[in-house]
């Protein structure tokens, strides 16, 4: 059975609810201690990966929150700092009904922030607006440095669903 700690007063009409009451339970404390130990050993890489991926998840959340405003959406994408954006060039294309289907499995291309920004600006000029996006951490690497500390890198996969309503065009 747990022990009650803190100050407790019987509720009196007009008084705020009790806020400093904490139930001490040895079983709960043992489980919390075990979890802390696992977080610093077994789950350490997973927790690092989650922490390192947090800015991308925050971007995704922000994009969803302004999805009705194409200007804000484009600004968020343009100002997101990327170290490298690596993608593959178009390897094949075929027509299927009214659609053009392109596959990107060709040579790797590396963009820095400026190329990414220009790409988003070009989509804007062509009337494209972001409809939906998906962002997923594909790989996380933590490498120790010779002088101590770690270098952390993440690879993310993402898909941007765009449409240009006036031109009746869509792109994924």
Could you tell me the residue ranges of all domains in the chain? 1-42, 53-171
Residue 121 pLDDT grade (very low, low, confident, very high; cuts 50, 70, 90):
very high
Contact 3, 21 (CB under 8 A): no
Average pLDDT estimate for 96-112: 83
> How many Å apart are CA 82 and CA 80, to the nearest integer?
6
Closest by CA to 162, choosing from 135, 136, 127, 119, is: 127
CA distances from 160 to 2, 40, 67, 99, 171 (A): 52, 36, 12, 17, 8
Between these two residues, 11 and 146, which has the higher pLDDT value? Answer: 146
pLDDT reported for residue 163? 86
The per-residue pLDDT of the chain, averaged, comes to 82
Q: Phi/psi at 45 (nearest 5 deg)?
A: -65, -40
């Amino acid at each position: 059975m747990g022990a009650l700690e803190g100050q407790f007063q019987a509720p009196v009409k007009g008084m705020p609810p009790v806020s400093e009451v904490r139930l001490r339970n040895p079983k709960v404390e043992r489980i919390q201690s075990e979890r802390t130990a696992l977080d610093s050993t077994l789950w350490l890489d997973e927790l690092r990966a989650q922490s390192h991926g947090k800015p991308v998840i925050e971007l995704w959340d922000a994009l969803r929150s302004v999805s009705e405003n194409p200007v804000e959406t484009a600004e968020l994408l343009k100002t997101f700092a990327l170290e490298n954006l690596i993608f593959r060039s178009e390897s094949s294309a075929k027509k299927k009904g009214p659609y053009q289907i392109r596959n990107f499995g060709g040579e790797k291309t590396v963009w820095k922030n400026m190329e990414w920004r220009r790409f988003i600006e070009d989509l804007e000029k062509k009337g494209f607006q972001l409809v939906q996006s998906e962002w997923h951490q594909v790989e996380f690497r933590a490498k120790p440095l010779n002088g101590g500390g770690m270098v952390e890198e993440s690879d993310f996969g993402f898909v941007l669903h765009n449409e240009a309503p006036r031109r009746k065009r869509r792109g994924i």
